[in-house]
């Protein structure tokens, strides 16, 4: 069983000290995927100066020299990996960035190329800002051949371009709903990658204010019961002492199982040896 950890919102406004505070005693156990914003535009959240919440100014990541050098070192040490987290992460009157922004194809292509150049690392994963992704947004990500690591994926075929895998993936979700006695109104995190023609998708469990250890342990047990994997997603700027305790307790709990292997987020999309053996 593979377990990965994802953290959102690394950007120009991020201090390395903030990431060290949360993950300095974590990434030697499990590598952290930092979902990173290339050209951050301020919005209301902890860590962004209030004067920039609605200024509309763009802040390129490479203008925070201390952060860029720190990220390069941690990548080289294999402590972290990088995912693309939108382009600006700005909000629009009619939706979040990858629901409502124009020219989404360009944003994916340019944002990815910029981060790869600045951080000296390949990027294969996309994390939607606010976990919000429209049909148009998904099409832009798929066109780039990037995999989606999201927390609240929609499995309705009408929310995506149709390809030869859409119906079979929808059927897998319906079977999983029945096996777990869920209705469409119930939250669901499918514990396997869903593969489409140009991309794949994997859902994450959230570590957010209010999440308990029991919530995460139940999600882990369910994923194991169905032969799946597990990804935990959080925001460094939300992790206080209580949430950090939940994270560490969860990692301790997971490590007690002999079948658990902590991996990079990219590895969630790679077939394991048993899967390859079955296909052979």
> What does the domain layout of the chain look like in residue ranges?
2-279
Q: CA 91, CA 42: separation in Å to the nearest integer?
A: 9
Q: What is the pLDDT of residues 57-100, one digit of tens each?
A: 999 999 999 999 999 999 999 999 999 999 999 999 999 999 99
DSSP 74-113: HHHTTSEEEEE--SS--EETTEEHHHH-S-HHHHHHHHHH
The CATH number assigned to the domain with range 2-279 reads: 3.20.20.370
Question: What pLDDT band is residue 276 in, cutting at 50, 70 and 90?
Answer: very low
How buried is residue 102: exposed, middle or buried, by Cβ count under 10 Å (0-12/13-18/19+)? exposed
Closest CA to 123 of 272, 265, 271, 270: 265
Supply the pLDDT for residue 278: 43
Stretch 127-147: mean pLDDT: 95
């Amino acid at each position: 069983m593979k377990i990965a950890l994802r953290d959102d919102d690394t950007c120009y406004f991020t201090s390395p000290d903030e990431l060290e505070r949360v993950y300095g005693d974590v990434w030697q156990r499990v590598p952290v995927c930092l979902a990173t914003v290339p050209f951050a535009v301020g919005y209301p959240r902890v860590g962004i100066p209030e004067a920039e919440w609605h200024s509309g100014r763009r802040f390129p990541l490479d203008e925070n020299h201390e952060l860029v050098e720190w990220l390069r070192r941690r990548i080289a040490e294999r402590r972290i990996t990088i995912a693309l987290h939108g382009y600006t992460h700005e909000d629009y009157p009619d939706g979040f960035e990858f629901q409502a922004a124009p020219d989404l194809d360009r944003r994916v292509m340019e944002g990815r190329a910029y981060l790869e150049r600045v951080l000296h690392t390949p990027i294969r994963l996309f994390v939607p800002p606010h976990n919000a992704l429209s049909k148009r947004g998904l099409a832009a990500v798929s066109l780039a051949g990037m995999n989606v690591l999201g927390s609240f994926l929609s499995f309705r075929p009408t929310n995506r371009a149709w390809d030869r895998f859409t119906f079979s993936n929808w059927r897998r979700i319906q079977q999983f709903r029945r096996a777990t006695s869920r209705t469409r109104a119930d939250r669901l995190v499918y514990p396997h990658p869903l593969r489409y023609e140009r991309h794949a998708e994997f859902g994450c469990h959230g570590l957010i204010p209010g999440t308990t250890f029991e919530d995460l342990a139940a999600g882990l047990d369910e994923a194991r019961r169905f032969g799946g994997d597990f990804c935990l997603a959080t925001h460094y700027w939300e992790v206080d002492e209580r949430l950090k305790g939940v994270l560490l307790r969860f990692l301790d709990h997971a490590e007690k199982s002999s079948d658990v292997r902590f991996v990079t987020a990219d590895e969630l999309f790679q077939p394991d040896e048993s899967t390859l053996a079955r296909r052979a």
